[in-house]
A and B are shown apart, each in its own frame.
Chain A
Amino acid sequence: KAGVTQTPRYLIKTRGQQVTLSCSPISGHRSVSWYQQTPGQGLQFLFEYFSETQRNKGNFPGRFSGRQFSNSRSEMNVSTLELGDSALYLCASKETGQNIQYFGAGTRLSVL
């Protein structure tokens, strides 16, 4: 099976813009989670989607949002970008009833 695929791998945006990141989970996985990784804060949980519904949410402002489609593919959106949003954004998928999350290679976002 193909692994978790994230696109694009790299993005450069300026403050105030918005950005959309995409994640295709492993075939058959219906749960998709998003994480933000920064040198200062480490890896932090953003949110999880299952069957097109947000199931859990981390402690991030409302500028961070996501959605999941019927084919389990997920997107996350960040509006009104700030310099502090520069990070590696990781997506992970898991099988229903299992606890192991499989990660993609990430999208590195740079906000200038």
Chain B
Amino acid sequence: AQSVTQLGSHVSVSEGALVLLRCNYSSSVPPYLFWYVQYPNQGLQLLLKYTSAATLVKGINGFEAEFKKSETSFHLTKPSAHMRDAAEYFCAVSEGADGLTFGKGTHLIIQP
């Protein structure tokens, strides 16, 4: 069975600082991995996806993530945080036909 663990329910960084949101997964087959962002009172917006083409994946809004099979990780990073990045971030895994399995989410707080 697939599962996702996001370390840190809340992460606070200063504007301009590096953003690092951690995600570890468990999957019995090569997984598809995703990061979604959710702004208040909105649905989920896809940031980026890993589908085995490349281990470093670039997404929207300056975010990227690196797939590390040996560590079963898919951490999300952004070199310089902006106030508009404040939101809830979800890591998700899919093994194909099944629905997405989400982590509990990480609330990103940007300090001015």
Binary A-proximity of B88-112 (CB < 8 A = 1, otherwise 0) = 0010101011111111110000000
- The interface residues of chain B lying within 8 Å CB-to-CB of A43 are 90, 92, 100, 102, 105
- CB–CB B43/A90 < 8 A: yes
Closest A residue, CB atoms, query B51: A99
- Asked if B70 is at the interface of the complex by the 8 Å CB criterion, the answer is no
Min CB distance B20 to A, Å, is: 21
- CB–CB B45/A103 < 8 A: yes
Residues of chain A at interface, number, CB under 8 A: 23
- Asked if B83 is at the interface of the complex by the 8 Å CB criterion, the answer is no
- CB–CB B42/A58 < 8 A: no
Q: Which of A93-109 contact B (CB under 8 A)?
A: 99-106
Q: Which of A73-109 contact B (CB under 8 A)?
A: 90, 92, 99-106
Binary B-proximity of A28-68 (CB < 8 A = 1, otherwise 0) = 00000101000000111101100000011010000000000
Which of B44, B45, B49, B99 touches A56 (beta carbons < 8 Å)? B99
Closest A residue, CB atoms, query B104: A42
Contacts A42-B102, A45-B99 hold; do A99 and B94 have CB atoms under 8 A apart? yes
- Asked if B46 is at the interface of the complex by the 8 Å CB criterion, the answer is yes
User: In the assembly, what is the distance between CA of A7 and CA of B103, in Å?
Assistant: 26
- CB–CB B42/A105 < 8 A: yes
- Asked if A4 is at the interface of the complex by the 8 Å CB criterion, the answer is yes
- The interface residues of chain B lying within 8 Å CB-to-CB of A4 are 43
- The interface residues of chain A lying within 8 Å CB-to-CB of B100 are 33, 35, 43, 45, 92, 101
User: In the assembly, what is the distance between CA of A99 and CA of B101, in Å?
Assistant: 13
- CB–CB A55/B43 < 8 A: no
- CB–CB A35/B49 < 8 A: no
User: In the assembly, what is the distance between CA of A55 and CA of B51, in Å?
Assistant: 22
- CB–CB A58/B105 < 8 A: no
User: In the assembly, what is the distance between CA of A48 and CA of B96, in Å?
Assistant: 13
A-B contact pairs, 7 of them (CB 8 A): A47-B99, A56-B98, A90-B43, A99-B49, A99-B96, A101-B46, A105-B41
